[in-house]
Amino acid sequence: MAKNNPISFRISKPEVLEALDSIGETLDRDRSYMINEAMETYIELNDWQVAQIKAGLKEADEGKFAKPSDIDKMLGRKRKK
């Protein structure tokens, strides 16, 4: 069973609160639901980003770098010789 842990915080920009309420009204959801959804999305995104950065740093520490020709091919450009 999920435990509810109430918190409070200030929304510094009125337009953010207005947008939150507008989206909530469209979805027929209250502020609490909307804030929970926003926090879950924020955490998932940042967890993913940190994991990708750590993986990239690990590869760099292991000397695994892309060749310039591979990067050019990926970006669809030709290197001048």
The SS3 of residue 78 is coil
pLDDT at 2: 67
Q: What is the pLDDT of residues 44-79, one digit of tens each?
A: 999 999 999 999 999 999 989 888 888 888 888 766
Q: CA separation (Å) from 60 to 12, 36, 57?
A: 39, 36, 5
Average pLDDT over residues 23-32: 96
Which pLDDT band, with edges at 50, 70 and 90, does 32 fall under?
Answer: very high
Task: Tell me what the pLDDT averaged over the chain comes to.
Answer: 90
Q: How far apart are CA 73 and CA 78, in angstroms?
A: 8
